[in-house]
Copies of this chain bind each other. A is one copy, B any other.
Amino acid sequence: MTHSPHQGRLIGVSLGPGDPGLITRRAWEVLHSGAHWAYPVRAARAESYALGITRLAGLTPPAEASALIFPMTHDIEKLSRHWLAAAQSLLPILERGRDVAFLVEGDASTYSTFGHLARTVTALAPTIEVETIAGVASFLAGAARTGVPLGDTDDTIAILPAGYGVATLDRLLEDFDTLVLLKVKPLLDEIIDWLEQRQLLEHALFIERAGSPEERVVRWLPTLRGEEVNYLSLLLLRHPHRQRPPLVRGCRPRRGAPTP
């Protein structure tokens, strides 16, 4: 099915982690294009983090923008109902030929609601065209801010919610030079104990609200023991002196061509 020229496009506008300087030029262009704005909120009348980034950038949200409710839950049926309601509320706008800019904090492909919304919209109206504008993910901003490389030549990088637990993290040390742990809040004390046992404390950094104006960097994690940290916290761990297996790289000689 081809896109109808009379339909608007659904655009996932990644705004980066909060610093308005990290908004891309393409996202900025769409914000000023006259597209209808839509943004996620946790509940009716709640603040939208994504919308807040546009305010930090000095923009005034259009009066008729759509606040779409996506509650904080892992209940897939409840979430699906909200994706459907959101998609249904945007469809008349798209069908009238107006582009919809869905504002996303961070990057639209990385732990974002946008993919679900886009799939629901195109399930209802398959000819609607979707554009996803990539953005700066919070862990990239955290690495830049602290000067810690996320990865150097031949490095391996793992990004995961800390909730998989210390035993998983410990196993991943064999294969990864960098661990990016998300949502560290509920497990922080256990992770600090583990880092201490593994003598990795000096190679770990804690970053709260990475890339936002309220960013906080903690370079010695034991000071955080027992503290209630923000939900938007990540931990960057560089694993020095990992024993690496040999690596195939460059222009490897081809093996003998198969006999016909």
Contact = CB atoms under 8 A, between A and B. Distances in A.
Interface of A: 12, 14, 16, 19-26, 28-29, 57, 74, 107-112, 115, 118, 130, 132-137, 140-141, 143-145, 147-161, 163-165, 168, 171-172, 175-176, 183, 185-187, 211, 245, 247-252
Nearest to A12: B144
Contact of A176 (B23, B158, B247): B158
Contacts of A156: 158-161, 164
Given A26-B19, A109-B143, A249-B183, A159 B161 contact: no
A213 B152 CA distance: 25
Contacts of A12: 144
A211 B134 contact: yes
Given A20-B25, A21-B26, A153-B74, A249 B161 contact: yes
B161 A154 contact: yes
Nearest to A74: B153
10 contacts: A16-B24, A20-B25, A21-B133, A109-B140, A110-B143, A133-B144, A134-B136, A158-B158, A159-B159, A164-B245
A110 B180 CA distance: 13
A145 B165 contact: no
A134 B136 CA distance: 7
A112 B148 CA distance: 12
A140 B143 contact: no
Contacts of A151: 109-111, 159
In order of increasing CB-CB distance, the 10 nearest A-B pairs are A21-B26, A109-B143, A134-B144, A132-B144, A186-B252, A156-B160, A157-B159, A163-B247, A163-B248, A163-B249
Contacts of A135: 136, 140
A29 B21 CA distance: 9
Contacts of A168: 175, 245
A110 B140 contact: yes
A148 B20 contact: no
